[in-house]
């Protein structure tokens, strides 16, 4: 797989755009945490625009694999980057200075349960978010390519 190419299009959500850009500019030295918990930056290809979208997310890692959680604070709808990732599973994840390519795969059943446990261990708020919505919060596992 070639690294993702395309034109970066900043998010309209200021807070998240600033954190993703600060993170990328400083290799995670700044913007690397949220309330003391580690953050990563996910790059997805826009489902409609084909542009590169960068999204700061909590870091959920296990044995070199990562999971990303489309929680959006327990909102009733999936975040937009969820639809990008469904349309274009080839994503990039920056963890600290390192940016690598991954294939994203939505997980279900026991596999999801195992990753959900890891996600909540990394960021306990996820449990509250799932409590407050009947939307099943999606979890994707990113496998290195």
Ligand X SMILES: C[C@H](OP(=O)(O)OC[C@@H](O)[C@@H](O)[C@@H](O)Cn1c2nc(=O)[nH]c(=O)c-2cc2ccc(O)cc21)C(=O)N[C@@H](CCC(=O)N[C@@H](CCC(=O)O)C(=O)O)C(=O)O
Applying CB under 6 A, which residues contact ligand X? Answer: 11-13, 15-16, 19, 34, 39, 46-49, 51, 53, 55-58, 69-72, 79-81, 83-84
Give the nearest distance from C-beta 15 to ligand X in angstroms.
Answer: 6
Give the nearest distance from C-beta 80 to ligand X in angstroms.
Answer: 3
Cβ-proximal residue to ligand X, closest one: 46
Angle value at C-alpha 70, between 17 and 20, nearest 5 degrees: 20
Give the nearest distance from C-beta 5 to ligand X in angstroms.
Answer: 15
* Cβ nearer to ligand X, comparing 72 with 103: 72
Residue 66 CB neighbours (<10 A): 23
Helix/strand/coil percent split, the chain, to 5: 30, 35, 35
Residue 100, strand partner residues: 93
């Amino acid at each position: 797989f070639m690294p993702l190419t395309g034109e970066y299009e900043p998010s309209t959500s200021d807070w998240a755009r600033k954190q993703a850009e600060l993170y990328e500019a400083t290799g995670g030295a700044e913007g690397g945490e949220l309330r003391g918990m580690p953050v990563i930056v996910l790059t997805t290809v826009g489902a409609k625009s084909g542009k590169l979208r960068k999204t700061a997310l909590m870091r959920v890692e296990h044995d070199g694999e990562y999971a990303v959680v489309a929680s959006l604070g327990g909102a009733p709808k999936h975040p937009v980057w969820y639809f990008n990732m469904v349309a274009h599973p080839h994503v990039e994840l920056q963890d600290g200075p390192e940016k690598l390519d991954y294939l994203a795969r939505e997980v279900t059943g026991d596999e999801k349960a195992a990753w959900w446990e890891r996600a909540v261990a990394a960021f306990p708020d996820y449990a509250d978010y799932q409590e407050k919505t009947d939307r099943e919060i999606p979890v994707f596992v990113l496998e290195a390519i």
